[in-house]
Amino acid sequence: MAIRAVRGFKDILPQEIRSWHRIEDLAYGVFNTFGFKEIRIPLVEKTEVFSRGIGEYTDIVEKEMYTFPDRKGLSLSLRPEATAGLLRAVNEHRLYAQSPILKLFTMGPMFRHERPQKGRLRQFYQIDAELLGTKAPLSDLEVIWMAWDIIVRLGVKNVRLEINSLGCPRCRPGYRDALKSYLESVFQDLCPNCQRRSKTNPLRVFDCKEKSCREIMKNAPLMRQYLCPECTEHINKVLESLEVLDIPFVINPYLVRGLDYYVMTTFEIVSPDLGAQSTVAAGGRYDGLLRDLGGPDLPGVGMAIGVDRLLLLLEADEETLPIDLFVVALGLTARKKVIPWIGTWRRHGLRVQMSYEDRGLKSQLRQANRLGAHYVLILGEDEIKEERLIVRDMKTHDQQKIPIDNNLISGLENLIDM
RNA sequence: GUGGGCGUGGCUCAACGGAUAGAGCAUCGGGUUGUGGCCCCGAAGGCUGUGGGUUCGAUUCCCACCGCUCACCCCA
């Protein structure tokens, strides 16, 4: 029985790698123009980073993390998201001291032990950006803008921005109480799941798909009615700036993030083409998180793009990487002559391949054709005797002979016009 | 963790409970002893996911397990 990859862990095969590069390259470009700098952080952190950062009683921390003791008994976890670890690094290296505003991005795999399905793997990739040091609504905009830009510029059509405000530590408790007491009053009529959620994560009840729960929640109090003046002004300014930019959005009063650190602005970019896991990108404001991780009380806002999901929305890229020159050497003498030439051409940047097997001309030409070679160079006994080798243009079928002399290397390069 | 669907050459899929499990694509070789693609011919490639059961006989029906997948849950 051959060994298979672990459930929920996938190989990214050569035929899909170009799409990955396309996404990553575009993201690098966008981040660069927005003035974000790259940071690379460990895949493993002390479990504490996530339990304190994301929240001890969130599903992610409670039942989805890969947590294990190291050889000395210290509890470690594979990162289930990027923000907590990134802020740990910011704090550890006092990066916030360099400038009042810190703009960072990172990309890489995250790990959550969930049941795999479409758009949900146990190792999945995120492109993540964080903007620290300001509460200004325009910083929310920047982060949303980048996510939107990356997704739209990749050619994804059918996406929608959903946005909401979760309030702040001043107004959220009042709302939470109101929601809780409402949920208590209707407790008997909620589905078992929501009865549990009403205690652990009341906002999540809004997400329930049960008809009865939806009906009940239509009369539930909404955060919007409880937002303090500052939060109201903040979200309004974010929405105004989105309008200025012509980024279409819908206000989703039920939008909730499953991580405890979010306050005020939260958003998702969703696509109906993804199946049940419809969120391509998401993020929000997390003032207070850095403080909770033991750092200074710096506000922040961030976003993460699900690369695997984004990939599901893209047209598959061509995998074939054409080559410039395929060298056919027939026989041992020819092979020996040809190898140093190949080395030179490769150092000059030409994409050159040869057959590793001692096959006939026909077979090697077939191989050259399959590889998409533009030119084929043929060197056999006749050519050695004649001291001229054959250069064949596979597209036009033209063939010509060029002398094997000191000018061979540059002569060929001129001929094939690279 | 719960439920549905599906497991046959590398890939996409056939085969009423019946014979040596087939086809297309891909691979390799030949048709041209040194000229690719198209065409023709041929070769190689299978413990039909695993283990039980029913049957004279199971790829086919039943059960269990494993795997994949979609959905619930949750989230990027």
The nucleotide minimizing the C1' distance to residue A331's CA is B34
Write the DSSP symbol of residue A316: P
Mean pLDDT computed over A348-352: 91
Q: Identify the CATH number of the domain defined by range A14-171+227-312.
A: 3.30.930.10
From residues 373-402 of A, which are strand B contacts by CB within 7 A? 378, 380-383, 390, 392, 394-395, 397, 399
Q: Identify the CATH number of the domain defined by range A323-416.
A: 3.40.50.800
Mean pLDDT computed over A209-220: 79
Mean pLDDT computed over A363-377: 91
Q: What is the pLDDT of residue A216?
A: 83
Q: Is the CB of A276 under 7 A from strand B?
A: yes
* E-strand stretches of A214-290: 249-251, 263-270, 279-285
Do the beta carbons of residue A265 and residue A252 sit within 8 Å?
no
Q: Domain residue spans in chain A?
A: 14-171+227-312, 323-416
Do the beta carbons of residue A110 and residue A124 sit within 8 Å?
yes
Query: Which residue's CA lies closest to nucleotide B69 at its C1' atom?
Result: A117
Range in A51-60, A312-321, A361-370, A374-383 the model is least confident about: A312-321
Do the beta carbons of residue A50 and residue A66 sit within 8 Å?
no
CA–C1' gap, A36 and B75, in angstroms:
26
Beta bridge partners of A284: A266, A302
Q: Is the CB of A363 under 7 A from strand B?
A: yes
Write the DSSP symbol of residue A63: I
CA–C1' gap, A390 and B6, in angstroms:
54
From residues 118-147 of A, which are strand B contacts by CB within 7 A? 118-121, 124, 126
Cα–Cα dist A370/A387, whole Å:
29
Do the beta carbons of residue A391 and residue A399 sit within 8 Å?
yes
Q: Residue A287: pLDDT above 70? A: yes
Q: Is the CB of A311 under 7 A from strand B?
A: no
- HSE-CB at A209 with a 13 A cutoff on CA atoms is 1
Name which residue leads in pLDDT, A254 or A22.
Answer: A22
Structure-block tokens of residue A268: 């998702």
As a dihedral over the C-alpha atoms of residue A219, residue A222, residue A224, residue A228, rounded to 10 degrees, the angle is: 120
Nucleotides of strand B lying closer than 7 angstroms to a protein CB:
1-3, 27-30, 32-37, 67-76
Q: How confident is the model at residue A320 (pLDDT cuts 50, 70, 90)?
A: low
DSSP H or E segment with residue A103? strand A102-111
Q: What is the pLDDT of residue A146?
A: 98
The nucleotide minimizing the C1' distance to residue A308's CA is B76
Q: What is the pLDDT of residue A417?
A: 62
Q: Is the CB of A367 under 7 A from strand B?
A: yes
Average pLDDT score, chain A: 90
Q: How confident is the model at residue A144 (pLDDT cuts 50, 70, 90)?
A: very high
Q: Output Rg (C-alpha) for chain A, integer angstroms.
A: 29
CA–C1' gap, A80 and B9, in angstroms:
40
CA–C1' gap, A213 and B2, in angstroms:
20
Q: Residue A244: pLDDT above 90? A: yes
